[in-house]
Amino acid sequence: MPPFQVCALAISDSGSLIASGQLGTKNFKGCAAPIFLWHATSHRRLAVLRGLANKVTMLAFSQDEAFICGCDEDCYFYVWDLGTSEVVFGQKLTAPATVLKWAEQKKVGHYFSYELVLGIGGSINQALLSYDNFRMQWVMTFKVRLSAVFLKHFLNAWCKLLLL
């Protein structure tokens, strides 16, 4: 058995980046399940993103390829900055994620804010990743209000999931 089996894939909107989520292995502390970031045309590995364990279940790139988010089978959800390969947000969810999709991004001051669609267990959630100038870090807030763009992206992702 190879040391890393692929169990999740994502391709960026431009097609230039591929992320492969791996099955965890006992060869790494805590049965780490890394995410490998690849350049699509050169096939060169660009980065290894760490934080998830056992099995990566879902991956998604932001539209501008600044971030990638991923979930594992232990209900952990992480967002990485692709410029630095650092985790900017991490949280244990209440149930496994079933839908993971970046929805809308808006320019707010010097930074963008990013809207995400998260299916957690049987519920649909809206999350907003934005830069907090006071804390000088990215923060994730979960909202109850559902926007039309949010619902459009959710329904699109859900239909694709049903067609599998």
Residue-wise pLDDT for 82-136, tens only, equals 999 999 999 999 889 988 999 999 998 889 999 998 888 777 888 999 999 999 9
Q: How distant, in Å, are the alpha carbons of 118, 123, 131 from that of 144?
A: 12, 11, 20
Q: Find the mean pLDDT for residues 31-48.
A: 93
Q: For all residues of the chain together, what is the average pLDDT?
A: 88
Q: Are 62 and 102 a contacting pair, CB within 8 Å?
A: yes
Domain-embedded: residue 1:
no
Domain-embedded: residue 37:
yes
Domain-embedded: residue 129:
yes
Domain-embedded: residue 99:
yes
The number of beta carbons lying within 10 Å of the beta carbon of residue 152 is: 13
Which of the residue ranges 21-35, 52-66, 113-127 has the most confident prediction, judged by mean pLDDT? Answer: 52-66
pLDDT at residue 138, as a whole number? 95
Q: What is the pTM of this model?
A: 0.84
Residue range of the domain that includes 97: 6-163
Q: How distant, in Å, are the alpha carbons of 23, 71, 84, 92 from that of 48?
A: 14, 15, 11, 21
pLDDT at residue 150, as a whole number? 64
Q: Are 72 and 52 a contacting pair, CB within 8 Å?
A: yes
Inform me whether the pLDDT recorded for 30 exceeds 70: no
Domains in the chain: how many in total?
A: 1
Q: Residue 27 is part of a domain; what is its CATH number?
A: 2.130.10.10
Tell me the sheet residues that pair with 118: 100, 125
